[in-house]
Amino acid sequence: MSFLQSLADRDRVFDFLAPAASPVDVRHGPILYLEDVSVSFDGFKAIDALNLTIDDGELRCIIGPNGAGKTTMMDIITGKTRPDTGSAWFGSRHDLLTMNEPEIASLGIGRKFQKPTVFEALTVFENLELAMAADKRILPTLTARLTGEVRDRIEEVLATIGLIELRHAPSGILSHGQKQWLEIGMLLMQRPRLLLVDEPVAGMTEQEMERTAELLTGLAGKGRQSVVVVEHDMGFVRSIARTVTVLHQGSVLAEGSMDRVASDPKVVEVYLGTEEEVD
């Protein structure tokens, strides 16, 4: 019945009539807007009335102790987890809560997992090829051909992430850090408007960390990409952060520049304080 009613609805825009991949509308404000989002697992409130806005082109770091809800927040933004209440908007036009993961991805939200996940059976080159923004329906994928343009774009990203030499190696043999970069490279191929990066430097050496910092600041610096980085490593956050959000028990505890946040007594108490004591 509801289907028939929806057919009679004059204002309804059918999927096949809607413009393909409608651009993200950021004229009226931020690129990502979470309002009053809550989700609980078995009574445990992982996210509790969370409000968060990310501006277009911003590089935002999100910190917080374990269990603060950082990963769950990413799950909500990318459509993996549905919140119990609240709303999540991408630009001012796209309600993220009505879309599934591939739709959200096609819209321009890329995500890097905490544990590097690349397609280990495929080569570095093929990984990037699959990540590339393209028509991702079945038949176009079946008949897709590798054009010179695509090749150039892949080579470009290979150079950015420093894996030119390894382009034909199966990605399964890459080191931990190389996999992290490859994953970031895949996100670059996707040309996302918003990049969610979960603990990009976990398990990296000093040099690798520096290189990752360069990659991320470079991304946001170009202006068209917003980057959200979730990280534990304070040194790393200090080196890249402009604005820092502190999550605690599923909601925002403090927000601002690193120095301001670091001097906030609440933050010092729940997070930095203990961290410094440990150090």
Partner 1 sequence: MWLTRPFRERATRLFLGILLAALALVTLLNLAVPVGHPLHVSTYAVTLLGKYLSYALLAVAVDLVWGYLGILSLGHGAFFALGGYAMGMYLMRQIGDRGTYGDPVLPDFMVFLDWDSLPWYWLGFDMPWFAFLMVLLAPGLLALVFGFLAFRSRVTGVYLSIITQAMTFALMLAFFRNEMGFGGNNGLTDFRELLGFDLRSDATRLGLFLATGIALALGYVLCRAIVASKLGRVSVACRDAEARARFLGYRVERFQLFVFVVSAMLAGLAGALYVPQVGIINPSEFSPIFSIEVVLWVALGGRATLYGAVIGALLVNYAKTVFTGVMPDAWLFALGGMFVLVTVFLPKGIAGLLCLRLRRRAATSQPTAGEAAT
Partner 2 sequence: MRMLPRFLSGLLCLCLLCGLPLAVQAQDDPGQALLDPLATASYAEKGEAIEAIIESGDARSRRWLEALLGGQLQRHKNTGRFVVVVENRGRNWPVVDALSFEDAGEMSRRDLDRIGINNALRGQLQGALAVLDLHADEVAERREAARALLGAVDAGLVEPIRAVIDGEEDAEVRRLLEQALSIQRLEAGEVEAVETLSGSLNAQVRSALNAASRSEDAELAAAATSAMADIEQKMALNRGLETLYFGLSLGSVLVLAAIGLAITFGVMGVINMAHGELIMLGAYTTWAMQQLLPGQPGLALLLSIPAGFLVAALAGVVIERGVIQFLKGRPLETLLATFGVSLILQQLVRTVISPQNRTVVTPEWMSGSLMLNEGLSLTLNRLYVLGFALVVFAVLMLVMRRTRLGLEVRAVTQNRSMARAMGIRATRVDILTFALGSGVAGLAGVALSQLTNVGPNLGQNYIIDSFMVVVFGGVGNLWGTLVAGLSLGVINQVLEPWAGAVLAKIVVLVFIILFIQKRPRGLFPQKGRAAEG
Q: Which residues bind partner 1 (CB under 8 A)?
A: 78, 80, 101-102, 105-106, 110-111, 113, 117-123, 126, 129-131, 133, 136-138, 141-145, 165-170, 173-174, 186, 190
Q: Residue 173 binds what, of partner 2, partner 1, none (CB under 5 to 8 Å, by partner type)? A: partner 1
Q: Return d(Cα 68, Cα 63) in angstroms, integer.
A: 9
Pick the closer one to partner 2 by CB: 199 or 208: 199
DSSP labels, 205-269:
-HHHHHHHHHHHHHHHHTSS-EEEEE-S-HHHHHHH-SEEEEEETTEEEEEE-HHHHHH-HHHII
Q: Which sign does the torsion angle of CA 260, 264, 270, 273 carry?
A: positive
Question: Minimal distance in Å, beta carbon 140 to partner 1?
Answer: 9
- Taking CB under 8 A as the rule, does residue 165 contact partner 2? no
Question: Minimal distance in Å, beta carbon 181 to partner 2?
Answer: 25
Across-strand partners of 27?
none
Q: Residue 122 binds what, of partner 2, partner 1, none (CB under 5 to 8 Å, by partner type)? A: partner 1
Instruction: For residue 25, give both structure tokens.
Output: 């509308």
Residue whose token pair is 């925002």: 252
Contacts of 125 (CB under 8 A, 6+ apart): 154, 158, 167, 168
Q: Residue 41 binds what, of partner 2, partner 1, none (CB under 5 to 8 Å, by partner type)? A: partner 2
Q: 108: closest CA among 244, 266, 255, 227?
A: 227
Q: Residue 3 binds what, of partner 1, partner 2, none (CB under 5 to 8 Å, by partner type)? A: none
30-49: which residues touch partner 2 (CB under 8 A)? 41-42, 44
User: Considering CB under 8 A, how many residues would be counted as binding partner 2?
Assistant: 3
Pick the closer one to partner 1 by CB: 199 or 255: 199
Q: Which residues bind partner 2 (CB under 8 A)?
A: 41-42, 44
